[in-house]
Structure 1
Amino acid sequence: MTFLLLLWSFRAVLFTELVSVRPARCAAHGPAVRADTLTGQVTTRYPSGKIKEVATYAHGLRHGLATGYNPNGDLHHEAHYQNGELDGPFRLYRKGYLFQEISYREGRYHGPWVAYRKGRKTIEAPFAQGQLDGWYYDYYYPSGRIRRKAFYRNGTLVSGEYCYGKDGYLQYELIKAGPTNPHNRLLEQVFYDQSGRVIRSKFIDTFPVTTYLFGLPR
C-alpha cells in the first residue's frame, strides 16, 4: 500500500517572522542598521562573498520579491512576501531546473502545487487555505502517465486511492470507508489484471494520510 509522506528538507531556507533587532548591514559594505527598520533591497552573502539572497524589506519584514542562490551561484528559489508572510508564487529550483512551484496566500498554500523532474510534471495537487482540496495526481517519469490519484476535500481523503501501471491500466484501488468511519479506515484493497478483472483483494485496517511536499516552507 502506498501513502504520501511529509518531508521538510529545506524548511530553514526561508522565514516569515520579524527580523532580529541586532545590527545588520544592507550589503557587504553598507552602513549598519537596526534589522527591525530594514526597508528596501537587502543582499545577504555566503562567507565566500557570493550572493545568498536578495530580498525586499519594509520596516523589518520581507515585502516583495526574495531571490535565493546556492553557494555555486545557481538559482535556488523565488518567493513573494506581503508584510512578512509568503503571499504569491513560490518557485524552488534544483540543478538549474524548476523543481516545485506553488502559490501562497497569507502564509498558507493556496493554489496549484506542481513538482517537476527535468522540466516534466511529476506531481500536482490543488490547495485551498492550506488544505489539499481536489484531485492529487502522481505521474510516471518521463511518460507523464498517471501513476496514482486520490481526491481530497478540505484536507481529508475522500475517494480512497487509485494506482496505475506504466501502461495505464488500474493495478489496484484502496476503497475508503463511508462518513460513519472518522479515522480514515479503508474497507478493502482490490487488485486488477490488465483486462480489469479482479484478481484478489484484502482488508486494510488503517490508511495514513499526509502530504508529500518536498521542502516547501510552511
Structure 2
Amino acid sequence: MRILMVVLLLGAIMGCQPSDAQDAPARPGKADPASLPEGYLVEDIPGSEAQRVVKRDEEGKIAEEGMLYDGLKMGAWIAYHEGGVFPAKITTYAEGVQNGTYLEFNTRGHLTLRATYKNNKLDGPWALYSFGRPEKEAHYKNGELDGVYLEYNRKTGNLQKEAHYKNGVQHGTYRFYSEEGEVMLEVEYIDGVKQEG
C-alpha cells in the first residue's frame, strides 16, 4: 500500500512539471544526469555548484556516493560492500581526476589496501594489509615503483623481502630474510640488471 501511495505521489508531482522540463539541457557547471551510468541519482546542493551523487542497491541501501563540482568528481567517493554497512573503497578526486588517498576495506571494515594517487597514477606510499598488519609496502612515483619495496612474513610479521626500485626497475640491494630475520640472500641490481659477484 505504501509503495502505491509513493508511486501515485511521484506521478502527481511529475505531472505538474512543464512538459519541456525533460528536454532542458543541464545548467552550465552541473552534471547532466543522463551522462552518468544508469542507477545514479544526482541532487543539487542549494546555493552551490556542487551536486551529491548516490547509487542505491536493490534494497535501497547506498551502494556508492560522492560529490560532483562543475560536473566533475570531487572529494571522497565511497563505494560500499553489499548491504551498505561498511565501505569497500574510498577514492579521492580533484576536478574529475583520481588524486590523493585511495583505501580498500574487507567486509568487516578492516583496511586491506592503502595507496596514494596523483593524476590517475600511483604516486606515493602504497601498502597491502592482512588482519591489520602490513603484508607489502612500496613507494610509487608517476605510476612506477620508485624506492623501497618490502614484503612481510604473514605468519611472523617479520620482514621477508626487501628490494629497491628506481623508475620502475630494480636498482639497489635485494635481500631475502629467514623467519628469524637473518639475511639469507643478498643481490645487487643496477638499472634492472643483476650484478655478478
The question of a shared fold, defined as TM-score above 0.5 by the shorter chain, is answered with: yes
Letter in 2 for 1:172: L
- Which residue does the alignment assign to 1:85? 97
- The 5 A counterparts of 1:50-89 are 50-73=61-84, 74-89=86-101
Select the residue among 108, 111, 114 that pairs with 1:101: 114
- The 5 A counterparts of 1:1-218 are 21=35, 27=41, 39-73=50-84, 74-95=86-107, 96-159=109-172, 161-176=174-189, 178=190, 184-187=192-195
**Partners of 1:22 and 1:103 in 2: CA distance:** 26
Q: Report sequence identity in percent.
A: 26
Letter in 2 for 1:186: K
**Partners of 1:186 and 1:20 in 2: CA distance:** 54
TM-score (norm 2): 0.70
Q: Secondary structure at the match of 1:64?
A: strand
| Higher normalized helix content (fraction of residues) | 2
TM-score (norm 1): 0.64
Letter in 2 for 1:50: K
* Contact in 1 for aligned 2:40/2:56 (Cα 8 Å): no
- Which residue does the alignment assign to 1:6? none
The Cα shift of 1:173 comes to 3.2
The Cα shift of 1:122 comes to 1.3
Greater length-normalized contact order (CA 8 Å, ≥ 6 residues apart): 1
Letter in 2 for 1:171: M
Aligned alpha-carbon RMSD (Å):
2.9
How many corresponding residue pairs? 160
Structure 1 unpaired stretches of 5+: 1-17, 191-218
The Cα shift of 1:78 comes to 1.1
**Partners of 1:23 and 1:126 in 2: CA distance:** 33
Distance 1:23 1:53, change over 3 A: closer
**Highest CA radius of gyration, 1 or 2?**
2
**Partners of 1:50 and 1:128 in 2: CA distance:** 37
Structure 2 unpaired stretches of 5+: 1-31
